[in-house]
Amino acid sequence: MIDELNALLPPFWSHANPIDLVGMFTAKGEPEGAVHAVTPSDEVDAVVVLGVLGIVSQPLKTMAVVERLHKEYGIDVSSIDPPDVDEYRQREEDFIRKVAEHMEDYEKPIINVSFTPMEKSVFDVGRKYSTVVLPSPLRAVRVLAQMARYREYLDSLA
């Protein structure tokens, strides 16, 4: 797992739990690769992914700031290429499908947290489990705690 993460992330990543992607979101696929690296590990019971889903709004926000800088300060922004929102949207959809696939393959919960509002919080992609997106890390941890309590309850019945 660590070797996979070292190959994927820059040398200054935390090398600890939690794994910080240090803002990396390039075509190399850092978020996707990190989830793929940690989920199969026997040392990992669950995964909380912060700030990956909800990325579609980021290029729109960036361009709004660029336009504001141009209007308010006259800064020449003609050399800035606008981000491709459709590319971000496709990547987000692919990530949602991959999360559902990993949960099914490894039988582990993966809870996503978006720091920007999303149109829905449960994404059914036709797999055994749906990808879930919550609005805060605290809520994600609470959900995982309830899942653990429920597992303990089921085990006590056996």
Q: Give the three-class secondary structure for 112.
A: strand
Give the model's pLDDT for residue 98: 95
Give the model's pLDDT for residue 123: 96
- Helix/strand number for the chain, H first, E second: 5, 4
Q: Which amino acid is at 79?
A: S
> Where does 24-158 have alpha helices with state H?
30-38, 57-73, 85-106, 137-157
Which pTM was predicted? Answer: 0.82
Contact 14, 5 (CB under 8 A): no
Per-residue pLDDT tens digits of the chain, which is 158 residues long? 899 999 988 898 889 888 888 777 777 888 899 999 999 999 999 999 998 898 766 777 777 888 888 899 998 888 877 778 888 889 899 999 999 999 999 999 999 999 888 889 999 999 999 999 999 999 999 999 999 999 999 999 98
The full set of domain ranges for the chain reads 45-54+84-157
Give the model's pLDDT for residue 5: 93
